[in-house]
Amino acid sequence: MKIDVLTLFPEMFPGVLGSSILKRAEDIKAVSYRVVNFRNYADNKHHTVDDYPYGGGAGMVLKPQPIFDAVEDLSTNSESGKPRVILLCPQGERFNQKKAEELAKAEHLIFVCGHYEGYDERIREHVVTDEISIGDFVLTGGELGAMVIIDSIVRLLPDVLGNEQSHMRDSFSTGLLEHPHYTRPADFRDMKVPEVLLSGNHRLIDEWRAKESLRRTFSRRPDLLEDFQMDDKQKKWLQEFIKEQEGKSEK
**Which stretch of DSSP H or E encloses residue 70?**
helix 64-76
- Closest by Cα among 77, 90, 73, 81 to 38: 73
The strand pairing partners of 192, in sequence order, are: 187
Nearby residues of 72 by Cβ (< 8 Å), 6 or more positions away:
none
Would you please indicate which residues are annotated as catalytic (active-site) residues?
90, 117, 155, 170
Q: Report phi then psi at 41, rounded to 5.
A: -95, -5
151 and 15 Cβ atoms separated by less than 8 Å: no
Residue 185: cis peptide before it, omega within 30 degrees of 0: yes
Q: Please give the Cα distance from 127 to 84 (Å, whole number).
A: 10
Residue 20 to residue 103: CA distance in whole angstroms: 21
Rg over CA atoms, the chain = 23
Bridge partners for 108 per DSSP: 2
Q: Is 248 exposed, middle or buried (0-12, 13-18, 19+ CB in 10 A)?
A: exposed
* Dist. CA 245–CA 251, nearest whole Å: 10
